[in-house]
Amino acid sequence: MRPAFVFGTRPEIIKLAPVIRAFERRGIEPLMIHTGQHYDYEMSKIFLEELELHKIDYHLEVGSGTQAYQTGMAMIKIEEVLMKEKPDVTLVQGDTNTVLAGALASVKLKIPVAHVEAGLRSFDRTMPEEINRILADHASEVLFAPTEDAKKNLEREGIIEGVYVVGNTIVDSVLQNSEIAEKKSRILEKLGLKPKEYALLTAHRAENTDSEENLKKLVEIITSLPITVVYPVHPRTEKRLKASGLWEKLKAKEHVILTKPLGYLDFLKLQKNAKIVLTDSGGIQEESIILNVPCLTLRYNTERPETIKAGGNVLVGLEKDRVLHYVEKLLNDEEFYRRMANAKNPFGDGKAGERIAEILLDLYEKGKLRVKSSRFI
Ligand code: UD1
Ligand code: UDP
């Protein structure tokens, strides 16, 4: 069997690496297609190097653009490769424009799509990611749901067949890399930080960065935090902050440490040793609960409600008073801190990558890995 992996952004590389490894361990060399949605060294190549994914068969160099431009260009270029290479299955991961493009190009060529991290829903259709998730799931033949809740979301939309609850591959990634990070990374020394004496913050969602009003609220929150805060800035946000003059305001604050986006090993080390994580990232909400660090999510909804139910994550939006209330509580109320930090990881045992490879190989050997005319037959 020959699987094709289509990916293009930082989180896709991190979350697909364990699946790629699982195929390699079974003697299968996958076809690797990088759309180039992320292209800066710190957003792409550093992860390929650190996770030892040295063989990329196609670099499609799609780059940035509007939603339709990016998705359309990726579709055209992916289609060309798939027509030439004719893989047996196309794997995509998550909810980016790369995922939507890969899924649509593939299924229309009758090459079955396997969606890793299927069934997540924020129930907020104003997010580009929500549209991508829904459409990718409906174009997929095999759906790897990370949790039972994700499976239920698919059932509600009539997707019953081909769904496998396997856990989230982010657990595999964290378990495979956090010890290496602990040993190799010198980021704490480099930034002059001590374990559990700082907060780690990231923000890049369109809803938080594209509106100047929300960007201002974000900066207000960061500048008011009563703890040292490390903020590795996504290029999207860096551009917006600089264009609106807010970058200088952040830089002027002594307790704010701004950095470029970090490699995975440095980021994992920072996250594991942080007192609190503040983020609008999907992957970081997941990693925090795996690493036992309380997470405050700078959004009003989440497609990872399992983290909230488990007690490791709180939605604080961009409401300064609410954010500061929870930060103070975490800093001053030991029992509350312990409860959040000890919330149970709902994303599985770190063997999702192995399960995914096993299931796909089994379907292939039984002749069941194909685009069916109906999902219900
Ligand atoms: C994308 C995904 C988002 C995911 C995130 C992971 C979509 C719709 N969004 O958001 O779901 O959480 O990746 O980080 O697919 N830029 C650079 N250099 C780069 C990449 C981007 O400068 O290497 C800048 C460009 O100005 C670009 C902007 O960032 O226009 C946004 O990039 P884009 O890939 O469109 O979306 P992300 O915000 O990265
Ligand atoms: N990450 C990283 N360096 C950073 C910020 C994030 O390595 O400077 C990792 C993080 O550990 C997580 C993933 O990138 O695994 C999350 O990516 P991002 O927040 O860009 O996307 P999302 O998960 O929201 O789609």
What are the pLDDT digits (tens) for 61-110? 999 999 999 999 999 999 999 999 999 999 999 999 999 999 999 999 99
Residue 174, pLDDT score? 98
Judge if the beta carbon of residue 169 lies within 6 A of ligand 2: no
The 10s digit of each residue's pLDDT in 289-326 is 999 999 999 999 999 999 999 999 999 999 999 999 99
Closest Cα to atom 34 of ligand 1: 37
Considering the segment(s) 183-341 as one domain, its CATH architecture is 3-Layer(aba) Sandwich (3.40)
CA distance 91 to 8: 12
Judge if the beta carbon of residue 232 lies within 6 A of ligand 2: yes
DSSP state of 134: H
Residue 128, pLDDT score? 97
Residue 256, pLDDT score? 98
Residue 202, pLDDT score? 98
* Average pLDDT score over residue span 218-223: 98
More confident residue, 3 or 376: 3
CATH topology of domain 3-168+349-365: Rossmann fold (3.40.50)
Judge if the beta carbon of residue 106 lies within 6 A of ligand 2: no
Which residues lie below 8 Å from residue 47, measured CB to CB, with a gap of 6+?
10, 13, 14, 17, 53, 263, 264
CA distance 368 to 98: 26
| 377 band by pLDDT with thresholds 50, 70 and 90 | very low
Q: The pTM is what?
A: 0.98
Please list every protein residue whose CB sits less than 6 Å from any atom of ligand 1. Answer: 9-11, 37-40, 43, 64, 70, 95-97, 128-129, 204, 235-236, 239
pLDDT of residue 367 exceeding 70 = yes
For residue 126, count CB atoms less than 10 angstroms from its CB and return exposed for 0-12, middle for 13-18, buried for 19 or more.
Answer: exposed
Residue 375, pLDDT score? 79
| 376 band by pLDDT with thresholds 50, 70 and 90 | low
Judge if the beta carbon of residue 298 lies within 6 A of ligand 2: no
Residue 90, pLDDT score? 98
Domain ranges of the chain: 3-168+349-365, 183-341
Count the Cβ atoms, other than its own, within 10 Å of residue 183.
Answer: 9
Residue keyed to tokens 């004719």: 86
Question: Which of 6, 9, 93 is the best mutation target for the ligand 1 pocket, counting ligand atoms within 8 Å of the beta carbon and taking the most?
Answer: 9
For residue 207, count CB atoms less than 10 angstroms from its CB and return exposed for 0-12, middle for 13-18, buried for 19 or more.
Answer: middle
* Average pLDDT score over residue span 359-374: 96
Tokens read off for 123: 């129930």
In angstroms, the Cα distances linking 19 to 14, 104, 169, 352 are 10, 21, 8, 8
pLDDT of residue 270 exceeding 90 = yes
Q: Do domains 3-168+349-365 and 183-341 have the same CATH topology?
A: yes
- Give the helix ranges, DSSP H, for the chain: 10-25, 45-50, 67-85, 97-108, 128-139, 148-156, 169-184, 187-191, 206-209, 212-224, 235-243, 246-251, 264-272, 282-290, 305-310, 320-332, 334-341, 352-365
